[in-house]
Amino acid sequence: MENGFFNNIARLDFAGNLQLTIGKSAENGLVVSILLRNDACGDSAKDLIPPLTLKGTAEELDEDFFGQIAKPMEQVSGLMVDMEAFLAQMEIAKKNSAMEKQQEEMKRKGRETKDKKYKESMGKVDALEKEGKFRDAWTKLPDPAEFPEQAELIRKRKADLSARFAPDLFGASASQLEDVSEHVEESSNLEDDSDPLDNDGFSDEEE
């Protein structure tokens, strides 16, 4: 105790528990095994670090024991601290990676929902157009601002549909207006052909 053994231990730079095993050798010397344990390190690779073993007489060990173990214990301690820090960073990286995957999955689902909504809207437009309901089809077209990737296509479809119902100024379709026009023209021709009077108001017989 006069040599300040524990004072020297206290001066060592290490984290964890220092385990010393002391035995006698066949040559009446001593065998000292020093193992540093750090339970805070979660890396199982720490168990592969071998103990530091010193052999010598009591006098030799007294003379330079701490000089022999100070640097190795510092290195082993630093290694295990770095290993734990590495594991902590790996855990953070895993969490960030999982977060990235979650965000990507949410974006993917959002795109799928948006695409489904667009297809459903355009499906209704197609059905109404086939039925000749061009005005109703026009009203069912989605907002171009909501679907910027299809904005140009939506605007073109709007223009095409509006052109088909635009002539309907009084509630009749363009084809109906044409039918009325043809009917009026036919009636006019029939009246011209059936007039029994000539230009002076008398028939040929009366003349």
pLDDT at 168: 47
* Residue 207 confidence (pLDDT): 44
Read off the tokens for 166.
Answer: 């635009």
Token reading at 167 = 């002539």
Residue appearing with tokens 């960030």 = 96
Where the chain has pLDDT below 70, the residues are 1-3, 166-207
Q: What are phi and psi of 32, to 5 degrees?
A: -115, 125
Predicted pLDDT of residue 73: 87
* Residue position matching structure tokens 């290195």: 75
For residue 98, the model assigns a pLDDT of 79
pLDDT 10s digits, 140-195: 888 888 888 888 998 998 888 888 876 544 444 445 445 544 544 554 445 455 45
Q: Please report where in the chains the tokens 């999982």 appear, as a residue.
A: 98
Nearest to 42 by CA among 23, 16, 8: 16
Q: So what's the pLDDT on residue 82?
A: 83
Nearest in space to 143 (alpha carbons), one of 113, 123, 118: 118
Res 177: pLDDT: 44
Q: Which of 150, 142, 147 lies closest to 124, judged by CA?
A: 142
What three-state secondary structure class fits 37? strand
